[in-house]
Structure 1
Amino acid sequence: MLTKVKMPLPDMMAAALAMDESILDADQVENLIKFCPTKDEMDLLKGYTGDKELLGKCEQFFLELMKVPRVESKLRVFLFKIQFKSQVTDFKKSLNTVNSACEEVRSSLKLKEILKKILFLGNTLNEGTARGSAIGFKLDSLLKLTDTRATNNKMTLMHYLCQVLASKSPALLDFHEGLVSMEAASKIQLKSLAEEMQAIIKGLEKVKKELESSANDGPVSEIFCKTLKEFIGASEAEVGSLRELYSVAGRNADALALYFNEDPAKCPFEQVTATLLNFVRLFRKAHDENLKQAELEKKKAQKEAEAENAEGSSLRKKG
Structure 2
Amino acid sequence: AACEELKCSRLFLKLLEAVLKTGNRMNVGTNRGDAQAFKLDTLLKLVDVKGTDGKTTLLHFVVQEIIRSEEAHLANLRSPSAELSPAGIPRKHGLQVVAALSGELSNVKKAASMDSDVLGSSVRKLAAGLEKVSDALRLSGDDEANAQFASSMSSFKSKAEEEIAQIRAEENAALTLVKEITEYFHGNAAREEAHPFRIFVIVSDFLDVLDRVCKQVGKMQQQTAAASAGRQLPIPANPIPAPTARVFRRRWTDSDEDSGSSSS
The TM tier, using the shorter chain, reads 0.7 to 0.9
Segment of structure 1 superposing worse, 106-115 or 272-281: 106-115
Determine whether 1:242 maps to 2:132: no
Which of residues 240, 259, 279 in structure 1 aligns to 2:206? 279
Tell me how far 1:264 sits from its aligned partner.
Answer: 2.8
- Shift in Å, 1:245: 0.7
Q: CA deviation at 1:248?
A: 0.2
Q: 1:240 Cα shift?
A: 1.8
Q: Show CA shifts across 1:55-90 (max 9, x none).
A: xxxxxxxxxxxxxxxxxxxxxxxxxxxxxxxxxxxx
Q: Is 1:147–2:72 an aligned residue pair?
A: no
SS at match of 1:127: coil
Report the counterpart of residue 300 of structure 1 in structure 2: 227
Q: Select the structure that is richer in helix.
A: 1
Matched-pair contact (CA < 8 Å) for 1:105–1:111:
yes
Q: 2 CA distance for matches of 1:284 and 1:192?
A: 29
1:190 counterpart (116, 128, 132): 116
User: Matched residue of 1:135: which SS?
Assistant: coil
Partner of 1:137: 38
- 2-structure distance, mates of 1:237, 1:167: 53
**Structure 2 alignment gaps of length 5 or more:** 72-93, 234-264
Deviation of the 1:168 alpha carbon:
1.8
- Say yes or no: does 1:166 pair with 2:93: no
Provide the rounded CA distance (Å) in 2 between the counterparts of 1:300 and 1:256: 45
Q: 1:232 aligns with which of 154, 157, 162?
A: 157
Deviations 1:241-271 (A, max 9, x none): 1111111011012112111124334333332
Shift of 1:151: 1.5
Is the contact made by 1:214 and 1:221 (CA closer than 8 Å) also made in structure 2? Answer: yes
Q: Is the 8 A contact 1:256 1:269 kept in 2?
A: no
Match of 1:67 in 2: none
**Residues 101-153 of structure 1 deviation map (CA, whole Å, 9 limit, x = unaligned):** 11211222221121111100000001111111111111100001101111122
Which of 79, 94, 102 matches 1:176? 102
The Cα shift of 1:178 comes to: 2.4
Deviates more, 1:219-228 or 1:154-163: 219-228
**1:122 aligns to what?**
23
Q: 3-state DSSP class of the match of 2:189?
A: coil
The letter of the residue matching 1:269 is P
Deviation at 1:304, TM superposition (A): 4.4
Shift of 1:305: 5.0
Aligned length: 206
CA contact (8 A) 1:163 1:287 kept: no
CA contact (8 A) 1:190 1:269 kept: yes
> 1:156 Cα shift?
0.5
Q: CA deviation at 1:272?
A: 0.7
Q: CA RMSD in A?
A: 2.0
Paired residue for 2:131?
Answer: 205
> Residue 129 of structure 1: SS of its match in structure 2?
coil
Instruction: Report the TM-score when normalising by structure 1.
Output: 0.60
The CA distance in 2 between the partners of 1:227 and 1:179, in whole Å, is: 45
What is the identity, as a one-letter code, of the residue corresponding to 1:246?
E
Runs of 4+ in 1 over 4 A off after TM superposition: none
* Cross-structure match for 1:44: none
Aligned counterpart, 1:221:
146
> Retained in 1: the 8 A contact 2:140–2:150?
yes
**What is the distance in 2 between the residues matched to 1:264 and 1:203?**
33
Please say if residues 20 and 37 of structure 2, whose CA atoms lie closer than 8 Å, have aligned partners that are also in contact.
yes
